[in-house]
Structure 1
Amino acid sequence: MEIMVTIFNIIIFINAALAVITVFRQERDIAATWAWLLVLIFLPIVGFLIYAFFGRRLPKSKLLRLTGSAKKQVRNRINQQKKKLGNFAESANPNHRIVNESQGLVKLFMNSGLVPLFSHNEIETFTEGNVFFKQLILDLENAQESINLEFYTFYADEIGKEILSVLVKKAQAGIDVRVIYDAWGSIGTNQKFFQPLIDAGGRAFPFLHNKLNLIDMRVNFRDHHKLAIIDGQYGYIGGFNIGDQYLGRKKKFGNWKDCMIRIHGEGVYGLQSRFLLDWNGTDVTSKVNPNDVIQDEKYYPKMKTNGHAIMQIVSSGPESQIERIKMGYIKLIEMAQDSIKIATPYLIPDESVLNALKIASFSGVNIEIITPNMPDHAFVYRATQYYARQLTRYGVKVYAYGDGFMHSKTMVVDGKICSIGSANLDYRSFELNFECNAFVYDQKLAQQMEKIHAENVQKSVLQTEKLFKEQSRWLDFKQHFSRLLSPLL
């Protein structure tokens, strides 16, 4: 018995030592460090298997990076724009004033990720799935040159098959059709589903990994983008994926509330560049020289619009230590003078975002956050409730949306600037997912987004300390326990 106890203690000691060495080999957020230590220490052997698939960082490489002359062109454009910042007094575009007032945010993206300003954009907003898909399918049917789709979820259901049939028809007509999908986000969809498109001359690939490859250690890094670019003229970005549930056809979720914007203008160039970088990062096409595709003029046609919206297309992902979208969120929160309106399905902020919200609230800024009133992921939902309670104590108004599932990922500040894209207010979007958001400097759009927010508030229930105190101890325990797993969710 003594020998067994000794062997057990040795195993525990070795396991703990290896856990410390394993976790500290890579730089990561302190909360994530402690969370992984708990997993590795309290789940010997099994914990290391979990870490192998979900805890390892993406190897640093040239994956998804601009190189050569393409990078030089972007840098030159940004340097020219920096010289103009603050000198738009005579500009005919009224949004240049907002850009001038937001120079800190603009330069943050320029300096951290070579993100230029895109002017002269017309923007249309979609919050209902039936309206969004109707317009998307119409644009796909009218395509003349190219169709590039990239979605975290592309289900092989009714709407998925309908869109696939349009893509097949366009590919047969000689249109350049490319599709990127996330294998894990598109459960039930595989290459066989896309075979008719491939046979017609189109192409479709999973991003980075295949869910059937059990030894693929990149499974935790998900392509969370929701992008569509047609002829380089029209682009979509936001929260909608391709699936019946986004049309409210799933009883589990009921009505689906989301936000997608359709862009016609220079901002489409930013979406196109994001797609083509990701295209070169797929397993099958990773050997392609990014410059061969990114600089192809047919993807960046000249266009004329009457729009005045100015925007930056901002990406972030595990290939970089710079969490650009998170920094953008924090900067927006810091800039707020009057109001911050947020919609997010997952409210699991790290300490930096949490503190920014607290400071803004104490500074007199009216902060309203809308979250779902139903779970799609149990632990994530309970963790969201935990942070909703924390923020409520600091004067932030947190609402639970009651008319279906809230999936929008939006932020509006002072009725002047808004962010719309794929990034949630959680650890996964900040550190692990490949995300893309449009930060838009346009008062017209921002006020429209505030109106949408107000309409959603009318269908929501304000979360109060009284409501939280009335909940059961078991529910309280699940919220606190889920919060411990926040950096891993």
Structure 2
Amino acid sequence: MIEWSIFNEIFTVAFNLLYFLIIIGTIMIVVLDNRNPVKTMAWVLVLFFLPIVGLIFYFFFGRSTRKEKLIGRKGFTRLIKRPMAEYQAQKAFKCPEDQHQLMHFFRNVNNALPFEGNKTEVYTDGLSMLQSLMKAISKAKHHIHLEFYIFEDDPVGRLLRDLLIDKAREGVEIRLLYDDVGCWKVPHLFYDEMRGAGIEARGFLKVRFPVFTSKVNYRNHRKIVVIDGKVAFTGGMNIALRYMKGFQWGIWRDTHIKIEGKAVYGLQTAFLTDWYVVDRTLITSSRYFPEMDSYGNALMQIVTSDPVGEWRDIMQGLLIAISSSRKYFYIQTPYLLPTEPILMALKTAALAGVDIRIMIPERADTRLTHLASLSYLDDMMCAGVKIYLYQKGFLHSKLIVSDDTLSTVGSTNMDFRSFEHNFEVNAFMYDRISALILKEIFLKDQKDAFLLQRKQWIKRPWYQKVQESTIRLLAPLL
């Protein structure tokens, strides 16, 4: 009995010591990571006062991957050999003078090659985008590359799946990347049917307990389709019925674009890089980067961002764009949880007299994220930022336009998750025509929104303010 008691005491002491060392070790890792001091202190406090919960949360959501690399320099150089040759063969193109710094930044940190002579077509509803996408796919001769956060097993998903199976039987190469978390609810049989027809379908960063649970926070939010290396689609729409049908309480309003021209090289490069991450196969054949003539007048860069590497490419680019704006800067986003640098840039620009307008949905698909978004509105309105609440349905559009010279459409939301944790892609356009088209879309949507008045906003119930502020503490995780 005495021996058992001694053994029990030794075990308890050893367990407590090990537990203490794990907590202290984790705190030291957080501190030595040299993150934002506010984030670091938050993690330290959580780990100190709620050690068990803190360790679980840190394991899932806290570990940084910024020092990792998706692909080696040698492999990436091989991948962009043809696009680089085409880029260098271009004659000097004309970039708006006030956007030169932004273009140079993306070229320097993101290897985003600017190409002129592109043609774009904009879609603001799911049905028109799907019809155009399926028409382009039906004409494919060599390959089809698709990458979506969500590819549902519903009438829309099955319709596209069946078309892809038909094209695969015709001998067209088809590769599909879907996000493992975004498609958790999709039955395996749905993708197995594609694989059985010869389609190469892969889940991105599969989460398998316990080995890859730390990857659950890093999701591939990109929407990319490349057909024969000549036509591409990107924007905010996934493959699911709700993107066509909307909700009982309103439409689903989104923005997507079709691109024809050498800017397609950028989307092809993004896809093939992600394919390498998942399949470890480096596809570099020139067949995937065919020679192309000029299709239009749009000067474009395809810019990606991800949770690996040293920089937050798209977020930092937006900081340059906001700071460079002189007349106006319009934003559409479904979620508004800006990082501190973006928040300060928006307020500073508004205080300097720039017409800053942000449009978000009055009602969103995720209540927690929407509540957190609302917590930022009063602070921005104080600085002169105009907030519009879209009332016709759910606004899922990720659209930005500024000064009739810059515009961008892509997968990036104005929130922590897109800037810090997700794999994202945006098309940045530096021509007047593209900017005016997207500006017109924003102003048209503005007619279905109302301008929020601060005098009325501050009168909302106190318990709503408490809810918003409490949920805002979780902004980096939403």
Compute the TM-score of the two structures, normalised by the length of structure 1: 0.89
Moved more, 376-385 or 130-139: 376-385
Displacement after TM superposition at 1:269 (Å): 0.7
- Partner Cα distance (1:425, 1:333) in 2: 13
Secondary structure in structure 2 of the residue aligned to 1:217 = helix
Cα offsets for 1:216-273 (capped at 9, x unmatched): 321110000011111111101110011111112443x630111001000001111001
Instruction: Supply the distance in 2 between the matched residues of 1:430 and 1:335 (Cα, whole angstroms).
Output: 20
Matched, 1:154 2:151: yes
Q: 1:312 aligns with which of 281, 286, 301?
A: 301
* Equivalent position SS for 2:182: coil
Local SS of the residue matching 2:375:
helix
Q: Is the 2:235–2:410 contact (alpha carbons within 8 Å) kept by the matching residues of 1?
A: yes
Kindly indicate whether the alpha-carbon contact (under 8 Å) linking 2:416 and 2:476 is maintained by their aligned counterparts in 1.
yes
Deviations 1:65-89 (A, max 9, x none): 55254278489659958x97xx65x
- Aligned counterpart in structure 1 of residue 40 of structure 2, from 13, 33, 41: 33
* Inter-partner Cα distance in structure 1 for 2:37 and 2:163: 47
- Name the residue aligned to 2:239: 242
How far apart in 2 are the matches of 1:396 and 1:181? 37
- Alpha-carbon distance between aligned partners in 2 of 1:487 and 1:299, rounded to the nearest angstrom: 37
Partner residue of 1:417 out of 384, 403, 406:
406
Q: Does 1:21 align with 2:10?
A: no
Q: Alignment partner for residue 63 of structure 1, among 64, 67, 70?
A: 70
Equivalence for 2:189:
192
Q: Which runs of 5+ in 2 are unaligned?
A: 1-8
Q: What do you get for the CA RMSD once the two structures are aligned?
A: 2.7
Q: Does 1:171 align with 2:165?
A: no
* Match for residue 275 of structure 1 among 271, 285, 299: 271
Query: Does the C-alpha gap of structure 1 residues 393 and 211 become closer, same or farther in structure 2, counting only changes over 3 Å?
Result: farther
1:391 maps to what in 2?
380
Residues 371 and 467 in structure 2, CA contact (< 8 A), matched pair in contact too: yes
Residue in structure 2 matched with residue 114 of structure 1 by the alignment: 111
- Counterpart mapping for 1:100-111 below 5 A: 100-111=97-108
Q: Secondary structure at the match of 1:170?
A: helix
Does 2:396 align with 1:407?
A: yes
CA distance in 2, matches of 1:389, 1:53: 32
Matched, 1:144 2:141: yes
1:256 aligned onto 2:245: no
In 1, the alpha carbon distance for the partners of 2:225 and 2:152 equals: 16
**CA spacing shift, 1:42–1:401, aligned 2, 3 Å:** farther
The DSSP-based 3-state class of the residue aligned with 1:429 is: helix
Residues matched between the structures, number: 466
| CA shift digits 1:342-371 (9 cap, x unpaired) | 001111111111111111111110010001
Task: Report the CA distance shift for 1:108/1:383 in structure 2 as closer, same or farther (over 3 A).
Answer: same
Q: Is the 8 A contact 1:191 1:204 kept in 2?
A: no
Give percent identity, aligned residues only.
34
Deviation at 1:462, TM superposition (A): 1.6
Aligned runs of 1:86-485 on 2, under 5 Å?
96-98=94-96, 100-210=97-207, 215-251=212-248, 254-282=250-278, 285-286=279-280, 288=281, 290=282, 293=283, 295-485=284-474
Distance 1:71 1:455, change over 3 A: same
Q: Which amino acid aligns with 1:437?
A: N
Equivalent residue, structure 2, for 1:91: none
State how far apart, in whole Å, the 2-side matches of 1:33 and 1:454 are. 41
Partner of 1:93: none
Q: What letter is aligned with 2:261?
A: G
Look up the SS of the partner of 2:267 in the other structure.
helix
Distance 1:78 1:393, change over 3 A: farther
Match of 2:55 in 1: 48
* Deviations, residues 430-471 of structure 1 (Å, cap 9, x unaligned): 111011111111111100101100111111122222232221
Measure the CA separation in 2 of the matches of 1:71 and 1:172. Answer: 28
Q: Between 379-388 and 55-64, report the one with greater CA deviation.
A: 55-64
CA distance in 2, matches of 1:13, 1:382: 37
Q: Deviations over 1:375-426 (max 9, x none)?
A: 3223221111011221111100011111111111111110111111111111
